[in-house]
Structure 1
Amino acid sequence: MTDQLAPPSVAEASTQPTVRTGPILLVLLSAMFFAQFDFFVVNVAAPSLEESIHAGPAALELVVGGYAFAYAAGMITGGRLGDKYGYRRLFVIGTIAFGITSLLCGIAANPEQLVIARLAQGLSGAIMVPQVLAVITADFPDERKPKAMAWYGAAAGLGSIAGQVLGGALIAADFAGLGWRTIFLINVPFCVVIAAAALRVLPAQTQRRSVGLDPVGAFGVSLALALLLVPLTMGHSADWPAWTWICMALALPVAAVTLRWEQTLRRRGGDPVLVFPLFRSPSFRGGVIASVAFMVYFGSFMFTLTLLLQSGLGLGPFQAGLVFSPMGILFTATSMIGGRLTGRWGMSALVVSSGVIALGLVALAVRLYAAGPDTGLPWIVVCLCLIGAGNGVVLPALFGAALMRVRAQDAGIASGILTTTQQFASAAGVAVIGAVFFAVAGKHATDASWADAMAWATAISVLMVLVVMWMTWTFRRFAGDGERPAEVPAAHV
């Protein structure tokens, strides 16, 4: 065994012909950038949404978390559709749908319309994004996959940071008096260009899996999580009425019935949406667990910090976005050298980088607890620099670690499962940690209560990062070259 992070590639040697990976990667990562951009861009628009369409705390969390929830709910099915009908075809369909639903978000007249449009936008992203990792895993030569994975992680992180920085700039610019609507409308022309380019440069899939769909399983998984996440999102603003507790109590039996159905379908030779054999691989299982913990922290931290900067410290959208700029710059720099660090130091590089993130979070939480609203922006920026530097190493490596033993023919479903769990984790982070944040802040929040709320939310994020540290530390026990790829039974291939 070795603690070196193996290249994030399939176990078998690639038999695909040489492809021009540069243009392909540019098209794929452009879509990934906008998918992440649209998850985080509404954070900086939260105060504008409150003012213009009177969106309350529950609506704001649904606008943020609802996108992630729908995105996650359709991700496994999106990956399976790519395996069945071709990655290029599904990528183009998803990109066009993403542009249309972005337009619907941009013209929404009230919170209800915006939430519905965001759910549709998330489902569109669920068709588009699984094909990105699937093409990289299935079609790129082995020697080019590590760099492609590094760029994938960089695009995901940069989209997250750009949502804060560019989103604030767009709102502040107020083009044609559109205000927050420009953060959605700007997607439309880019989606048209990306879809047209994809038709020209993405490789046609020569071998496809003969797989069936599992609408019952997909609905059951989504329903179980909705029964848990929706009450957590809306309960604090509604004073926790009886229906919130009933829904959360029903989540467990619905999950149990769904798992029973999945096992029955598998015994019958069908194609369950939860492909349990993939989780026999310790690398895939460990990578998924670490990714979940990371995304719970990351999604909720970006959401709550934006609220603190604008509602607690009185910054405008553009000013709040600028606070995130150093974090984005350091994320970009470290994501580009992260592959070399993990190549030389193995899992130790991820453990140290996770420690840097934890250090930044602890420093921020302690300062907020001690100084409250007098916490200076320089202190916040320094903490964000530490957090961004650590994120840039950890996030790309987690993608590669989870997929490094996945076979080419399972690329779509494995990518769908990985991104599904990550996005559900983001939605859960926004819902759960967001609920703690708003509960501490109170209905009539003051500058001091905003700071206290952020201190508590950040403390929970520290716990999530400690989970990431633990998983990356223990990862070297099962990241060795001797591990065979998890094989999906023939009935599921």
Structure 2
Amino acid sequence: MSSTASEDPGAATATAPAGTVSAAYALRWPALFVILAAEVMDLLDALVTSIAGPTIVRDLGGGGTLIQWLAAGYTVAMATGLLIGGRLGDIHGRRRMFLIGMAGFTAMSLACALSQSPGMLLTFRVLQGLLGAVMLPQGLGLIKEMFPPHEAAKAFGAFGPIMGLSAVGGPILAGWLVDVDLFGWGWRTIFAINVPIGLTALVFGLRVLPASRPDRRLHVELTSAAIASGSMFLLIFPLIQGRELDWPAWCFVMLAGGLVGFVLLARVEVLRDRAGLVTLITPSLFRKRAFTGGLAAGMALFGALMGMSIVFTLFVQLGLGFSPLKAGLAGIGQAAAMVVGFVVSQPLNARFGRTLMHVGELLAGAGFALFVLTLHLAGDAVGIGTMTPALAVLGLGMGLTMAPFFDIVLAGVDDRESGSASGAMTSVQQLGGAFGIAVLGTVFFDVLSGSGATSRVGVFRDAAGTAMWVAAAMIGLTFVLTFLLPRRAREDAGGH
């Protein structure tokens, strides 16, 4: 193990072998703030386009599918990039890849802000997701390198408050930026705000992040990555475009091809492992009930969460006529309750484990049902006050479910498999989000075009209510799949 030079223990030029801990690294806490800045940029960008979507469409055109693609394109690109992002850091050095990812993410944010057409914006949005996938895994690896074991838990613990603050404040900030129309930029400011954050993080990152020694013996497994990314595209594209094209036969062929692609991926990984070649995912994981069940549960869980978010935003803006800022404020009950669920779950996870997830799933399902009931009872008078109780129940349930999810899934895999399993689960989190956006968004717009309601609000109530029932069904599927997971998390769980 190499540590930083004794003359300047915090020097940015100090090197340590990838994966080792440099306990003497003096600038580890300032470096953590740089890493957290990257996390904030990603979290905000994952949330803001649903709030700004209707405004973007009014400016650039593109219709409802553009709103879906702005969110789903980013998450699919992120899911694809995460499959190889961590390995790129191992090969070329985590500091280098973090800074490259940060620079690229910042540049693509500016490009999004300057886009003049739906095609331009979507292209830069996808590139933004790919570069985010290069940046984010390096931060976690750098934390493990910089912090000694007794401080690592505190460092990873900083992600919780940051995620909570972003979940609560992100949509409100996005709505405010769109409404206040700074410099006449309108929706463009939701992307432009990343530029000063990114440039500041780059300047400080060059100074405070430690350099790891690259391991050139490793390489990226591109064949499996290509199969995985192609399968994701085949799955998501027809779900979003099919409605607009009146569901031609090739849409169903693509869907089937996507499912076949994932089966092919598992087979290729097994064959490469038998041949002694590098694999993208450790093949033995596919024989673990906890892992395969976790993949399916993650798709359903994060699909319900992300899909619900975009449907809710479309409902309150297009149906109820809320401004972007008011739309952001309308969701604060759910976001705050989700943070409460995360906090409450921490001391309960070790004791109740999988049972805690089941309780959360029941609450989330009840929240969806209560939301639909609220829409029915309130009629055209539905507003923030009437929706907040249901959203709070939903958010609390989601928080209780999501907080222990990764640690419980990883409890069912061997230590040597945990790194591969963690990477795959993180990628599935993104893919599940894209899947939910595609499915629930398509249901929403499909019902919208065929509703028999007599009032504008009634039409949107029908569309939102139907989509929420689909989300509730996803949570019901998650409840069943949770029985495949281990009863308890690992004793040393944390930081995932």
Could you say whether these structures have the same fold, taking a TM-score greater than 0.5 normalized by the shorter chain as the test?
A: yes
Q: Which runs of 5+ in 2 are unaligned?
A: 1-18
Correspondent of 1:449 among 459, 466, 474: 459
Alignment of 1:273-288 (within 5 A): 273-279=280-286, 285=292, 287-288=294-295
Contact conserved, 2:338 with 2:395, CA < 8 A, in 1? yes
Correspondent of 2:248 among 234, 241, 246: 241
| One-letter amino acid of the structure 2 residue matched with residue 16 of structure 1 | V
Mapped partners of 1:263, 1:62: distance in 2? 33
1:16 lines up with 2:21 in the alignment = yes
Correspondent of 1:162 among 169, 173, 185: 169
Alignment of 1:176-187 (within 5 A): 176-187=183-194
Mapped partners of 1:139, 1:398: distance in 2? 26
Contact conserved, 1:285 with 1:402, CA < 8 A, in 2? no
Mapped partners of 1:203, 1:460: distance in 2? 47
Correspondent of 1:56 among 49, 54, 63: 63
1:46 lines up with 2:14 in the alignment = no
Instruction: Give how far 1:71 is off.
Output: 1.0
Task: Give the aligned partner of residue 298 of structure 1.
Answer: 305
Mapped partners of 1:424, 1:174: distance in 2? 32
Mapped partners of 1:251, 1:327: distance in 2? 33
Mapped partners of 2:434, 2:112: distance in 1? 19
- From the superposition, tell whether residues 270 and 138 of structure 1 become closer, same or farther in structure 2 (CA, over 3 Å): farther
Instruction: Give how far 1:185 is off.
Output: 0.6
Correspondent of 2:324 among 317, 323, 327: 317
Contact conserved, 1:165 with 1:318, CA < 8 A, in 2? yes
Instruction: Give how far 1:50 is off.
Output: 1.7
DSSP-derived class of the 2:329 partner: helix
Task: Give the aligned partner of residue 462 of structure 1.
Answer: 472
1:430 lines up with 2:429 in the alignment = no
DSSP-derived class of the 2:244 partner: coil
Worse-superposed segment, 164-173 or 319-328: 319-328
Instruction: Give how far 1:104 is off.
Output: 0.8
- From the superposition, tell whether residues 283 and 114 of structure 1 become closer, same or farther in structure 2 (CA, over 3 Å): same
Instruction: Give how far 1:152 is off.
Output: 2.9
1:66 lines up with 2:73 in the alignment = yes
Mapped partners of 1:180, 1:213: distance in 2? 37
Mapped partners of 2:52, 2:270: distance in 1? 43
Worse-superposed segment, 105-114 or 145-154: 145-154
DSSP-derived class of the 1:129 partner: helix
Task: Give the aligned partner of residue 119 of structure 1.
Answer: 126
| Residues 58-85 of structure 1, C-alpha deviations (whole Å, 9 max, x = no match) | 2221111111111111111112212222
- From the superposition, tell whether residues 402 and 29 of structure 1 become closer, same or farther in structure 2 (CA, over 3 Å): farther
Task: Give the aligned partner of residue 8 of structure 1.
Answer: none
Worse-superposed segment, 103-112 or 473-482: 473-482
Aligned residues: 470
Q: Aligned Cα RMSD in Å? A: 3.1
Contact conserved, 1:80 with 1:413, CA < 8 A, in 2? no
Q: What TM-score comes out, normalization by structure 1 length?
A: 0.85
| Residues 36-69 of structure 1, C-alpha deviations (whole Å, 9 max, x = no match) | 2112201011111121111211222111111111
Correspondent of 2:212 among 190, 205, 208: 205
DSSP-derived class of the 1:272 partner: coil
1:391 lines up with 2:398 in the alignment = yes
| One-letter amino acid of the structure 2 residue matched with residue 459 of structure 1 | W
| Residues 128-163 of structure 1, C-alpha deviations (whole Å, 9 max, x = no match) | 122234445666555555555554344345434433
DSSP-derived class of the 1:205 partner: strand
Alignment of 1:52-201 (within 5 A): 52-136=59-143, 140-144=147-151, 148-201=155-208
Mapped partners of 2:258, 2:223: distance in 1? 16
| One-letter amino acid of the structure 2 residue matched with residue 164 of structure 1 | P
- From the superposition, tell whether residues 151 and 344 of structure 1 become closer, same or farther in structure 2 (CA, over 3 Å): farther
Q: Answer 1 or 2: higher relative contact order, Cα 8 Å, separation at least 6.
A: 1
Contact conserved, 2:353 with 2:489, CA < 8 A, in 1? no
Q: What TM-score comes out, normalization by structure 2 length?
A: 0.85
Instruction: Give how far 1:86 is off.
Output: 2.6
| One-letter amino acid of the structure 1 residue matched with residue 52 of structure 2 | A
Contact conserved, 1:137 with 1:411, CA < 8 A, in 2? no
Task: Give the aligned partner of residue 334 of structure 2.
Answer: 327
Contact conserved, 2:108 with 2:125, CA < 8 A, in 1? yes
| One-letter amino acid of the structure 2 residue matched with residue 455 of structure 1 | G
Task: Give the aligned partner of residue 420 of structure 1.
Answer: 427
Aligned sequence identity (%): 32
Mapped partners of 2:289, 2:217: distance in 1? 26
Correspondent of 1:33 among 30, 37, 40: 40
Contact conserved, 2:291 with 2:412, CA < 8 A, in 1? yes
1:271 lines up with 2:278 in the alignment = yes
Contact conserved, 1:79 with 1:412, CA < 8 A, in 2? no
Task: Give the aligned partner of residue 477 of structure 1.
Answer: 487
Mapped partners of 2:208, 2:416: distance in 1? 21
Mapped partners of 1:142, 1:344: distance in 2? 24
| One-letter amino acid of the structure 2 residue matched with residue 457 of structure 1 | A
Task: Give the aligned partner of residue 221 of structure 1.
Answer: 228
Q: Which runs of 5+ in 1 are unaligned?
A: 1-13, 484-493
- From the superposition, tell whether residues 157 and 209 of structure 1 become closer, same or farther in structure 2 (CA, over 3 Å): farther
Task: Give the aligned partner of residue 6 of structure 1.
Answer: none
Instruction: Give how far 1:425 is off.
Output: 0.7
- From the superposition, tell whether residues 389 and 304 of structure 1 become closer, same or farther in structure 2 (CA, over 3 Å): same
DSSP-derived class of the 1:294 partner: helix
Task: Give the aligned partner of residue 487 of structure 1.
Answer: none
| One-letter amino acid of the structure 1 residue matched with residue 134 of structure 2 | I
DSSP-derived class of the 1:274 partner: coil
Mapped partners of 1:65, 1:218: distance in 2? 19
| One-letter amino acid of the structure 1 residue matched with residue 388 of structure 2 | V
- From the superposition, tell whether residues 265 and 129 of structure 1 become closer, same or farther in structure 2 (CA, over 3 Å): same
Task: Give the aligned partner of residue 489 of structure 1.
Answer: none
